[in-house]
Structure 1
Amino acid sequence: MSQVPLIVDTAWLADRLDDPKLRLIDATTFLKPPESGGYYDVWSGREAYNEGHIPGAVYADLLHELSDPDSEFPFTVPSRERFSKKMGELGVGGDDTYVVVYDQGNAIVGAPFIASDWASRLAWQLRYEGYGNVAVLEGGFVKWKEEGRSISTEPASYPEATFTGERRPELLATKEDVKDALDDENTILLNSLSEADFNGETDTYARSGHIPGSVNVFFGNLSDPETKELYNDEQLRDAFEKVGALDPGKKVITYCGSGIAATWNALLLNKLGKDNVAMYDGSMTEWTADPLLPLDKKDK
């Protein structure tokens, strides 16, 4: 089976909807800031999937089925057994299929489209567990629908499969890895949140600010909000080069709030040829919950 690109466009997918080797997955999840501040309200996108999805797509529930149910933090990587079982049920496994993942829109309910980071989260999880032939749909369902392409309300399924591959631990960073990186000049900590989050001007997490020594590239600034397409590689490269993230001699650890947006930046770094990239799964949710861990804020 030939390798698919990391990111594919709607025309590419439309040409392959009838390909029996395709496994198309809707990974929609929703966030909404609570009225009184604090962490987001989060819910599954299954209902949105039922109301309309790209024909042939199956639904993967990142919140309830593909996260560790025993973790105190949302969206923590589940056991390999849990993940493998669910992927097998969705028809993903072996070497004779490829996956395209998309989501239905906005990182935050009510905000404009900025990235398909729920899709990149599932794509990252698949790679982490050793399934590498996976692409993310550029512009997701929003772009697909805007182009007037076909939409289905019929549930879909694929033949059950045995999920294979070996876990790639180098793709995941733990809290201890990040602590070690604080004093490592060869590791770049890349905060993927907004500038306001980075500067400590918001109260989403237990404490505000950023991990000391971090640099900031907001994941939402890397796509054109009108076309829903990524900026060209030259513009993307410029955004990451400014903070040193494309230095070939350095490792990058991306982080965000709960390991979602960070997978988008990791994906784009991979697209630009940067392979030595890990994602801090606990991100700010875990880091700020420990009062002994340091945080910086930008001086006003």
Structure 2
Amino acid sequence: MSEIVVPADRVADRLDEVRIVDTRDAWEFEGIGHVPGAVSVPFDSFRADEHAAEDGAGGESGGSGAEESGDGQGMLPGADAFADLMSEAGIENDDRIVAYDDTHGVFAARFLVTAELYGHDPERLHLLDGDFSAWRLDHETTSEVAEFERSTYEVDPPAETPLVGIDAVASATDDPDTVVVDTREAWEFEEGHIPGAVRLDWRELVDDETRGLKPRAEIESILDERGIAPDKRIVLYCNTARRISHTYTVLRHLGYPDLAFYEGSLTEWEADGRELETGA
């Protein structure tokens, strides 16, 4: 399973080889059903502040959600909390993980990014192409909850991660070899964005009918139009670092080699009094 974003058919054929993580709310996992063998790890459980972002597909609330510790961790839950969460789910450090949600993959992508930042091998982290609504059209679901023994998951953050701080982002705005990408909706971008940023709503890369990614050629065309090229350093931000998780995962899937993840995002940028640009 070499791709970062994997088709449902391939996952269905390998359910006994991977750990499936369902990032929907617990009531959805229990009441609606889930992918066989999945474990429930709701979005709020790996978020530092569950009130920081709205859980709808449309957007995130700007403002006061992110941590103001100055450590660049943004909305990450903390190493000990994440280790305990993974241990409780029975996930081992060397497990191959496939995550999904029912919101085109944006919450599942956030889980994968969090796992990568805490040291899980990124080559063993995968996003289900499509979401639960797409899966259930062609594949089996269940209401039976699989039982897993508690593991001893150890967090070991790598020496280098894609995380960048606010000063690095400010410097990137003047770098001709870097593209700063705002993954929010058009109206949010127009109200205020980091100067020089290019807008790419994360949903532009998703097919509303299949609920998975658009065809690769179509995605590459969209990225090319915005100047988001593989030979550039790409710095991603949104409001509270949820939506950039999906775009980051897609760009990794496409083989972009130099990606930066601004975890503080616009929440931190505004709180620090940095300049905003308005308009389309």
Find the counterpart in structure 1 of residue 213 from structure 2.
230
1:122 and 2:111 equivalent? yes
Q: Greater share of helix residues, 1 or 2?
A: 2
Contact 2:49-2:65 at 8 Å conserved across structures:
no
1:26 counterpart (14, 22, 26):
22
2:144 counterpart (140, 154, 160):
154
Q: Is 190-199 or 227-236 further displaced after alignment?
A: 227-236
Contact 1:94-1:161 at 8 Å conserved across structures:
no
- CA RMSD after TM alignment: 2.2
Matched residue SS, 2:274: coil
1:151 offset after TM fit, Å?
2.0
1:77 offset after TM fit, Å?
0.9
Q: TM-score, normalised by structure 2?
A: 0.84
2:200 partner letter: V
Contact 1:23-1:158 at 8 Å conserved across structures:
no
Matched residue SS, 1:171: coil
Q: Separation in 2 of the partners of 1:194 and 1:153?
A: 35
Q: Separation in 2 of the partners of 1:241 and 1:217?
A: 11
Contact 1:241-1:247 at 8 Å conserved across structures:
no
1:49 and 2:47 equivalent? no
Find the counterpart in structure 2 of residue 293 from structure 1.
274
Contact 1:24-1:56 at 8 Å conserved across structures:
yes
Q: Separation in 1 of the partners of 2:77 and 2:152?
A: 18
1:276 offset after TM fit, Å?
1.1
2:226 partner letter: V
Matched residue SS, 2:46: coil
Contact 2:5-2:250 at 8 Å conserved across structures:
no
1:254 offset after TM fit, Å?
0.8
Matched residue SS, 1:100: strand
2:14 partner letter: R
1:4 offset after TM fit, Å?
4.0
Q: Separation in 2 of the partners of 1:157 and 1:289?
A: 43
Contact 2:98-2:127 at 8 Å conserved across structures:
yes
Q: Separation in 1 of the partners of 2:87 and 2:214?
A: 34
1:165 offset after TM fit, Å?
6.3
Q: Separation in 1 of the partners of 2:42 and 2:267?
A: 20
1:251 offset after TM fit, Å?
1.6
Matched residue SS, 2:85: helix
Show structure 2 runs of 5+ residues with no match: 53-63, 67-73
Contact 2:39-2:89 at 8 Å conserved across structures:
yes
Q: TM-score, normalised by structure 1?
A: 0.79
1:151 partner letter: T
Find the counterpart in structure 2 of residue 195 from structure 1.
186
Q: Separation in 2 of the partners of 1:157 and 1:174?
A: 40
Contact 1:24-1:57 at 8 Å conserved across structures:
yes
Find the counterpart in structure 2 of residue 91 from structure 1.
90
Alpha carbons of structure 1 residues 265 and 224: separation in structure 2 relative to 1, 3 Å: same
1:154 offset after TM fit, Å?
2.5
Find the counterpart in structure 2 of residue 274 from structure 1.
256
Q: Separation in 2 of the partners of 1:157 and 1:73?
A: 34
1:98 offset after TM fit, Å?
0.7
Show structure 1 runs of 5+ residues with no match: 29-44, 106-114, 201-208
